[in-house]
Amino acid sequence: MKKSSQSESATLRQQAEELLSKQVEKSIGKLSEAEIYKMLHEIQVHQIELELQNKELILAKEQATTAFQKYIELYDFAPSGYYTLTGKGEILQLNLSGAKMLGKDRSQLKNWLFHLFVTDDSKQIFRLFLEKVFSGNVKESCELALLTSENLQQYIYLSGILSDNGDQCYVTATDVTERKQSESDLRTSNELNETLLQTIPFGMNIVDEKGNVLFVSEGLQQHFGAGALGKKCWELYRDNHLQCDYCPLHGGIKIGLTETYESHGILNGRIFEVSHTGMIYNGQKAMLEIFIDVTERKQAEFKLHEKEVQFRNLANSGPALIWTSGTDKLCNYFNEGWMAFTGHTLEQELGNGWAEGVHPDDFDQCLATYIAAFDRQEPFEMEYRLHHVSGEYRWILDLGTPNYNSTGEFMGYIGNCFDITERKLVEQELKTAKEHAEESDRLKSAFLANMSHEIRTPMNGILGFAELLKEPDLSGAQQQEYIRIIEKSGSRMLSIINDIVDISKIESGLMKINIGEVNVNEQIEFIYSFFKPEAENKGIILSFKNNLHSAETQITTDREKLYSILTNLVKNAIKYTKAGSIEFGVSASSTTGSVSEPGSTEQGRSVELLKFFVKDTGIGISNNRQDAIFERFIQADIADKMARQGAGLGLAISRAYVQMLGGKIWVESEEGKGSTFYFTLPFHAKQNEKKDSQKFAFTDVQVDQVRKLKILIAEDDESSNQLISIGVQKFAKEIINVKTGTEAVEACRKHSDIDLVLMDIQMPEMDGYKATQQIRQFNTDVVIIAQTAFALSGDKEKTLEAGCNDYISKPIRKDELMQLMQKYFSNMKE
Ligand code: ADP
């Protein structure tokens, strides 16, 4: 640069010197010296001026170079793209931004055609743009899309102008992609809004503060017609049912506040959800009303609600207690039946509240069943006691079923519970009955084995000694001894049979009590004298104690039963005592509970109970059997029973009698030392039975006092017939024997002078009841005495009803027969 400027200035100097020499040649000869000096001076000044100018020029040139440099930088790094293009679009020059827009290095782009970077859609636009630029001297512009290397569309704004010489044009390019995108977004958003407005379920409108309709969506226009705009909003609704009370126009529009309400019947009876929002529209306060048609939804909701009500009614209508639980295992519903059962509120039962009503003994099992089934989602069945509103626990059968929704998702459980208390009770009763039956069966088997022994023993005695009696060479004493054994065995058997009959009567509820005046002293003394010989035989001292005042000895009770109880206890005492003593007796209990002392002078006390006792020094009874011995057949159940006589019925009968008479019986005993049996009787037992008026003394009747009778014996069993015949022989002048009821009737008809008929009840052809009835039809005078084998309750009544005068049980006891003879025939003389 410096070099060239030096050569340039040298050339310039040479030109200047040549010019000067020509001018000097023309004019210098004419000039004076002064003028020449002056000219020289001028020339020197010019030279200095020129030198100064040259310096300025050099400075200006440097400044121009710097500016050009800056321009180049500005050009290159300007944010806009600059292109210099030919008329064909060939790129002559471009800046860096221009290269970047085309996605290539600047050095690669020289002489490329600009079209190559324009999208197909924009190629025509670009062609027109170039044509316009080159056809005139005005600035032209266009927008087009470029293809970038990433194949993304880039939008640019081109502005071009022709160069001065008209062979090229200068084009600036601005990236407008973002603006385009925003425009597109806006367009999309507008389209969306448009679509929304068109497709919104019902529609919307905008009204100003006075209710003038400013805007109506298409949806609403269909209903309101074309003239909706400008009308008042309340004029639009065909069914005049708009709940205008809610309309914010009343209270003034609040910008940004949305209020929603449900409106029925605004249009054609449909239901809408209407929301009002305060807004600014076209610079003024306005209200946006959005109407959403919820008719179908509401109808579906209503149907759902109706279904729910129906299911609730269903759940509440049956006897079942119903609950449901969720996936958290907690209960979330109980029907009314449940609440009525427990007496609790729903709130009390929800969650785990219900569990408090479960019986503590059943709780763990109940919870374990529920949880185990729950974890496996299996049905379950459990029984537990649930607290009932009445205060008692009742048995519940709870059937749980897993609950799945319509998509098969597990939702928890549904439980149906039933009150099975009655069933449980029946089950329990059946169980107890079964246990009883099994126990009875066991005892009865044991009893039968024992009974077989008990009956066979006296039977052996009877048959064996009867056989022996047939021996011809027997002495009188031997015969008497054998007969005594036979009698003893007979009465032992009779006692067993009586016990069996008694226990049967008690168990079948047929045992009656006969209340009457009883002298306790007499009873005790009689028993004492009766058992004294037997006790003495065993070397045991028998004694009795009577602590009653004389006024207290007469009580009202069932004499035979009292006799039977005492007899049984004393008999047992003798039986189970090897040595020592037996004492029995009675004392009185007053209301104050005091027991009178012997010889007490206390008068006028109010006695309520008599307390009897039988005390022995026998084998005693172990503690664990002191209750059991009062059960029937119990003796037979003793594994190590001693070979003593007895059917194990005595105490059971005694207890039944004591209870029937209103008392209690118990024992106090120590094994090896002895036992004391106690029983109480009310001083005045209830008169619940017809008083037995027929009392007999225990004295023998003189046969002589009875006249000789014509007697008819009706009896089918030969030996019994014979026995009775022998028994009545002393009173008879004639005995007629018949074997059936029919024969008995015939005999009576034939012999009207018969005095006495001893009528068996169980006879072939016609039984004793019927025969008696028939005889009574033609003979009311003859004395008919019924004889039955079984002393069952009701027998006596039945025979009396049939027409018999009296009753005697088989085998006929001599003393009883005597009493009857005396009663009916003693005062009659032949
Ligand atoms: P049993 O006919 O066997 O005597 P009970 O019913 O009278 O029948 O008595 C039942 C059982 O009670 C007897 O078998 C005996 O084991 C026991 N027992 C009754 N009385 C006494 C007593 N005084 N001492 C000891 N044990 C007795």
Task: State the burial class of residue 713 (Cβ atoms within 10 Å of its Cβ: 0-12, 13-18, 19+).
Answer: buried
Give pLDDT, residue 403. 94
| pLDDT of 547 above 50 | yes
User: What value does the mean pLDDT take over residues 795-823?
Assistant: 81
Distance from Cα 579 to the centre of ligand 1, integer Å: 17
Distance from Cα 825 to the centre of ligand 1, integer Å: 44
Q: Which residue, judged by its Cα, is nearest atom 16 of ligand 1? A: 635
Closest Cα partner for 378 from 409, 403, 358?
403
- The larger pLDDT score, comparing residue 227 to residue 332, is at 332
Among 143-147, 248-252, 262-266, 558-562, the minimum mean pLDDT is found in 262-266
- Specify the ligand 1 atom closest to the Cα of 644: 3
Give pLDDT, residue 510. 74
Closest Cα partner for 675 from 581, 565, 541, 544?
581
User: What value does the mean pLDDT take over residues 576-593?
Assistant: 82
* Cα dist from 649 to 422, 444, 623, 676, whole Å: 36, 12, 20, 18
Give pLDDT, residue 700. 38
What's the pLDDT band for 698 if we cut at 50, 70, 90? very low
For residues 632 and 626, what is the distance between their CA atoms, to the nearest angstrom? 13
Distance from Cα 524 to the centre of ligand 1, integer Å: 21
pLDDT digits (tens, 9 = 90+) for 379-429: 999 999 999 999 999 999 999 999 999 899 999 999 999 999 999 999 989
- Specify the ligand 1 atom closest to the Cα of 635: 14
Contact between 613 and 680 under an 8 Å Cβ cutoff? The reply is no
Contact between 667 and 676 under an 8 Å Cβ cutoff? The reply is yes
- Specify the ligand 1 atom closest to the Cα of 641: 16
| pLDDT of 452 above 90 | no
Distance from Cα 575 to the centre of ligand 1, integer Å: 8
Closest Cα partner for 788 from 815, 761, 758, 817?
761
Mutate to test the pocket of ligand 1, among 531, 627, 629, 670 (most ligand atoms within 8 A of CB): 629
3-class state of residue 353 by DSSP:
helix
Distance from Cα 670 to the centre of ligand 1, integer Å: 14
Both tokens of residue 227? Answer: 């003239």
Give pLDDT, residue 747. 95
Buried b (16+ CB within 10 A) or exposed e, 646-664: bbbbbbbbbbbbbebbbbe
What's the pLDDT band for 828 if we cut at 50, 70, 90? very low
**How far from chain centre, in Å, is Cα 84?**
93
pLDDT digits (tens, 9 = 90+) for 606-622: 667 899 999 999 999 98
| Distance spanning both ends of the chain, measured CA to CA | 201
Give pLDDT, residue 4. 57
Q: Which residue, judged by its Cα, is nearest atom 13 of ligand 1? A: 635
Which of 292-301, 457-466, 567-576, 589-598 has the highest mean predicted lDDT (pLDDT)? 567-576
DSSP string, 207-233: EETT-BEEEE-HHHHHHH-GGGTTSBG
For residues 608 and 590, what is the distance between their CA atoms, to the nearest angstrom? 6
3-class state of residue 94 by DSSP:
strand
| pLDDT of 237 above 80 | no
Q: Which residue, judged by its Cα, is nearest atom 3 of ligand 1? A: 648
Q: What is the DSSP letter of 113?
A: B
pLDDT above 90 as % of the chain: 36
Q: Which residue, judged by its Cα, is nearest atom 4 of ligand 1? A: 646
Give pLDDT, residue 139. 92
pLDDT above 70 as % of the chain: 85
What is the rounded average pLDDT for all residues in the chain? 82
Q: Which residue, judged by its Cα, is nearest atom 20 of ligand 1? A: 572
Contact between 713 and 738 under an 8 Å Cβ cutoff? The reply is yes
Mutate to test the pocket of ligand 1, among 572, 613, 644, 665 (most ligand atoms within 8 A of CB): 572
> What is the chain's length?
830
pLDDT digits (tens, 9 = 90+) for 485-537: 888 888 878 888 888 888 777 877 777 788 888 889 888 998 898 899 899 99
User: What value does the mean pLDDT take over residues 306-322?
Assistant: 87
pLDDT digits (tens, 9 = 90+) for 68-117: 888 888 888 888 999 999 999 999 999 999 998 888 888 888 899 999 99
Distance from Cα 572 to the centre of ligand 1, integer Å: 6
Q: Which residue, judged by its Cα, is nearest atom 21 of ligand 1? A: 572
Give pLDDT, residue 12. 77
Distance from Cα 450 to the centre of ligand 1, integer Å: 14
Q: Which residue, judged by its Cα, is nearest atom 2 of ligand 1? A: 646
Angle among Cα 236, 240, 243 to the nearest 5 degrees reads 95
Give pLDDT, residue 81. 92
Indicate the angle between helix axes 650-660 and 476-507, nearest 10 degrees: 50
| pLDDT of 26 above 70 | no
| pLDDT of 200 above 80 | no
- Specify the ligand 1 atom closest to the Cα of 634: 10
Contact between 709 and 756 under an 8 Å Cβ cutoff? The reply is yes
Mutate to test the pocket of ligand 1, among 450, 578, 651 (most ligand atoms within 8 A of CB): 651
- Give the dihedral of Cα atoms 120, 124, 127, 132; nearest 10 deg: -150
- The larger pLDDT score, comparing residue 458 to residue 333, is at 333
Give pLDDT, residue 711. 93
Distance from Cα 630 to the centre of ligand 1, integer Å: 9
Q: What is the 3-state secondary structure of 401-417? A: EEEECCCCCEEEEEEEE
For residues 445 and 113, what is the distance between their CA atoms, to the nearest angstrom? 128
Distance from Cα 650 to the centre of ligand 1, integer Å: 8
Mutate to test the pocket of ligand 1, among 450, 570, 635, 667 (most ligand atoms within 8 A of CB): 635
Contact between 160 and 170 under an 8 Å Cβ cutoff? The reply is yes
User: What value does the mean pLDDT take over residues 340-361?
Assistant: 93
Residue ranges lining ligand 1, Cβ < 6 Å? 568, 572-573, 576, 616, 618-619, 621, 629, 634-635, 638, 646-652, 675
